[in-house]
C-alpha cells in the first residue's frame, strides 16, 4: 500500500494555558478547552474569557487550532443564558465549537445563519453517541462539520461509516479514560441521588477500590463533619438541575474503607460533582493508528483535561510519532506501547475498537491509577551554568536516573548532584504539599533541559 499523504489532526486536551503550550510543543495540531459553565469537567477548567482569548491568539500565531467545548446536555436554566455567555467567545474566533445538545446546536446555527455571528464549524461531541452512518448524515444535513464518533464502535464500524460518509470530518478518541456506562452517561449519579452527571459535574473517577463497613450502615461521625451543612450546601449547589426528589437512602451516611488505608473510614456523599464507585480501564489505541490513518479518519483525540503536563507531553509526543510513522508507511514501533506504560493508568484496553468480553474493559482488581516504570517528578524552569532549577512534584534522590522529555527529543541523565534554593548540597528531597524547587546538575545537557519535564525511572 502506498504511504498515506494526509495525516489526521492530533487533538490534545487543555485544562490550562500551560497544558495548551505543552501540547503544541510536543506535537499537537489542536487543543480543546471547556467553555466555563457549559463543558464537562467543569471543576477542572482554568479557562475564563481572558484565557480563552489569549489561547486562541497564541494558537493562531503558531499555526495551530483551538476548539471550544460546550458539551453538556443543558437544562432549562442553562439554555436561557447560553447564547449570551457564548457571544463574546464566538467573537474571538475559536476554530470550532464542540456541542452535544441538539437545542444548543440549533440555537448556535441560527445565530450564524442570521449573520449575527461569524461562521464557526460545529463539531458533534462524543456525548451525542453517534454510532452509524445514517446518524452522521442527519447531523451533516443539520449543519455539523465534524462528528466525534461514539466510543462503542469497532474499527470495522468506523471504517464503514467513513466509507459511507466520505465528505464529512470524522474524529475518533484514541487515548484516555473510558466510562462505565454509554459514552459518558454516568450511571450511579442518577441512580442513587437523582443527580445528572451530564451537567459538567462528573469527575474523572469512579476510581477508588474500597470495601464497605458492615453493609455500609449509617454510623455517628466526629465533630469535624457536619452532615446537615454538607447536605444543604450540596442541595443548594445543585438547585438548578431538574428538581427531582432525592432517593431516601441517599440521605444516610455511608462509610468506605480503602484496602490500602485500613481504619480510615471515609464518609460517602454525593455533591454536585458526583460520587463514583465503578472503574474502567483506560483506552489505548496507539497500536491502531496505522489503520485509522489509512481509513481516512480526520482527527484523533486524546482525552484528559484533568491530567498533568507530563501526561499531555508524553501522549502528544508518542501519538505524533505514531501518526508520522503511519503516514510515511513505516512499521509500528512497539516502543510507543512501552513508553505509554510510563504514565499513571488503570490498565489499558483498546475498548470497543477490538471486540472482547466485557471483563477486558473493567479494572476489577485496582481502582487507583498506577505509574509503571517511571514517575513524573517535576519541570525545569531555567538553566544556569549547567544547573537546572526544577519545580518538584515528587521525591528526588541523588543517584536517580531521570528522563528529560523535551520537544527536541528525550534524553536520560544520571542525577549526580542536587542543591536546595540556598545552594546547599542535597542527597534526598522530602515529599511536600508545598511547591519546592531544587537545582540539579545537567552538565552538557543544558541545551535540552530548558522547559523539560522530568520523569524518574523506577
User: Is there a domain that residue 384 lies in?
Assistant: yes
User: Is there a domain that residue 195 lies in?
Assistant: no
User: Is there a domain that residue 144 lies in?
Assistant: yes
Residue 433's pLDDT is 46
| Residues 95 and 234 grouped into a single domain | no
| Residues 392 and 439 grouped into a single domain | yes
Give the end of a domain, one of 319, 336, 371.
371
Question: pLDDT (tens digit, 9 = 90+) per residue, 268-307?
Answer: 655 444 554 555 678 899 999 999 999 999 999 999 888 8
pTM over 0.85: no
The CATH number covering residue 433 comes to: 2.40.30.10
User: Is there a domain that residue 349 lies in?
Assistant: yes
| Residues 107 and 36 grouped into a single domain | yes
For the chain (458 residues), the mean pLDDT of every run of 10, in chain order, is 71 94 97 87 74 97 97 89 95 97 97 97 95 98 97 94 97 85 50 46 44 43 56 52 56 66 64 51 91 97 88 95 95 90 79 63 41 78 90 88 92 90 80 72 81 89
| Residues 117 and 36 grouped into a single domain | yes
| Residues 27 and 123 grouped into a single domain | yes
The CATH number covering residue 33 comes to: 3.20.20.70
| Residues 17 and 136 grouped into a single domain | yes
Residue 216's pLDDT is 41
User: Is there a domain that residue 199 lies in?
Assistant: no
Give the end of a domain, one of 268, 289, 305.
268
Residue 361's pLDDT is 41
| Residues 350 and 288 grouped into a single domain | yes
| Residues 104 and 16 grouped into a single domain | yes
Q: Looking at the 3D structure of the chain, how many domains does it have?
A: 3
Domain of 231 in residue numbering reads as 205-268
User: Is there a domain that residue 315 lies in?
Assistant: yes
| Residues 148 and 26 grouped into a single domain | yes
| Residues 326 and 286 grouped into a single domain | yes
| Residues 258 and 287 grouped into a single domain | no
Q: Which 3-state string (H, E, C) describes the chain?
A: CCCCCCCCEEEEECCCHHHHHHHHHCCCCEEEEECCCCCCCCCCCCCCHHHHHHHHHHHHHCCCEEEEEECCCCCHHHHHHHHHHHHHHHHCCCCEEEECCHHHHHHHHHHHHCCCCCCCCEEECHHHCCCCHHHHHHHHHHCCCEEECCCCCCHHHHHHHHHHCCCCEEEEEEEEECCCCCCCCCHHHHHHHCCCHHHCCCCCCCCCCEEECCCCCCCCCCCCCCHHHHHHHHHHHCCCCCCCCCCHHHHCCEEEEECCCCCCEEEECCCCCCCCCCCECEEECHHHHHHHHHCCCCEEEECCCCCCHHHHHHHHHHHHHHHHHHHHCCCCCCHHHHHHCCCEECCEECCCCCCCCHHHCECCCCCCCEECCEEEEEEEEEEECCEEEEEECCCCECCCEEEEECCCCCEEEECCCEECCCCCECCECCCCCCCEEEEEECHHHHHHHCCCEEEEEC
User: Is there a domain that residue 359 lies in?
Assistant: yes
| Residues 31 and 120 grouped into a single domain | yes
Amino acid at each position: 500500500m502506498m504511504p498515506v499523504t494526509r495525516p489526521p489532526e492530533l487533538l490534545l486536551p487543555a485544562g490550562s494555558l500551560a497544558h495548551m503550550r505543552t501540547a503544541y510543543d510536543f506535537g499537537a495540531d489542536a487543543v480543546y478547552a471547556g467553555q466555563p459553565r457549559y463543558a464537562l469537567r467543569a471543576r477542572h477548567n482554568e479557562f475564563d474569557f481572558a484565557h480563552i482569548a489569549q489561547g486562541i491568539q497564541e494558537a493562531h500565531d503558531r499555526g495551530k487550532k483551538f476548539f471550544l467545548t460546550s458539551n453538556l446536555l443543558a437544562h432549562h436554566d442553562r439554555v436561557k443564558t447560553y447564547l449570551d455567555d457564548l457571544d463574546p467567545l464566538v467573537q474571538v474566533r475559536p476554530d470550532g465549537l464542540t456541542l452535544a445538545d441538539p437545542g444548543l446546536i440549533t440555537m448556535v446555527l441560527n445565530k450564524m445563519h442570521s449573520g449575527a455571528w461569524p461562521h464557526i464549524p460545529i463539531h458533534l461531541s462524543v456525548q451525542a453517541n453517534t454510532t452509524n452512518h445514517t446518524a452522521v448524515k442527519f447531523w451533516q444535513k443539520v449543519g455539523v462539520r465534524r462528528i466525534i464518533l461514539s466510543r462503542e464502535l469497532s474499527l470495522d464500524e468506523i471504517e464503514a461509516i467513513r466509507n459511507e460518509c466520505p465528505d464529512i470530518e470524522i474524529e475518533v478518541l484514541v487515548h484516555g479514560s473510558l466510562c462505565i456506562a454509554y459514552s459518558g452517561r454516568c450511571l450511579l449519579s442518577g441512580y442513587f441521588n437523582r443527580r445528572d452527571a451530564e451537567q459538567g459535574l462528573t469527575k474523572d473517577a469512579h476510581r477508588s477500590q474500597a470495601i464497605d463497613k458492615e453493609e455500609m450502615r449509617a454510623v455517628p461521625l466526629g465533630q469535624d463533619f457536619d452532615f446537615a451543612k454538607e447536605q444543604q450546601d450540596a442541595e443548594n449547589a445543585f438547585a438548578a438541575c431538574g428538581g427531582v426528589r432525592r432517593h431516601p437512602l441517599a440521605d444516610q451516611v455511608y462509610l468506605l474503607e480503602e484496602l490500602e488505608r485500613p481504619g480510615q473510614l471515609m464518609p460517602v456523599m454525593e455533591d454536585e460533582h458526583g460520587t463514583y464507585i465503578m472503574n474502567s480501564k483506560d483506552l489505548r489505541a496507539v497500536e491502531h493508528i496505522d489503520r485509522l490513518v489509512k481509513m481516512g479518519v480526520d482527527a484523533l483525540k486524546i482525552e484528559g483535561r484533568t491530567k498533568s503536563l507530563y501526561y499531555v507531553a508524553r501522549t502528544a509526543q508518542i501519538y505524533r510519532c505514531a501518526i508520522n510513522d503511519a503516514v510515511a508507511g513505516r512499521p509500528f514501533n512497539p516502543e510507543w506501547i512501552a513508553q505509554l506504560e510510563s504514565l499513571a493508568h488503570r490498565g489499558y484496553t483498546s475498548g470497543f475498537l477490538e471486540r472482547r468480553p466485557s471483563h477486558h474493559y473493567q479494572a476489577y482488581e485496582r481502582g487507583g491509577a498506577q505509574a509503571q516504570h517511571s514517575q513524573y517528578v517535576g519541570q525545569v524552569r531555567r538553566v544556569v551554568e549547567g544547573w537546572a532549577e526544577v519545580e518538584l512534584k515528587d521525591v528526588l534522590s541523588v543517584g536517580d536516573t531521570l528522563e528529560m522529555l523535551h520537544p527536541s527529543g528525550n534524553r536520560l541523565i544520571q542525577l549526580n548532584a542536587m542543591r536546595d534554593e540556598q545552594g546547599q548540597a542535597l542527597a534526598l528531597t522530602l515529599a511536600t504539599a508545598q511547591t519546592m524547587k531544587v537545582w540539579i546538575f545537567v552538565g552538557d545537557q543544558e541545551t535540552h533541559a530548558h522547559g523539560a519535564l522530568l520523569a524518574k525511572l523506577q
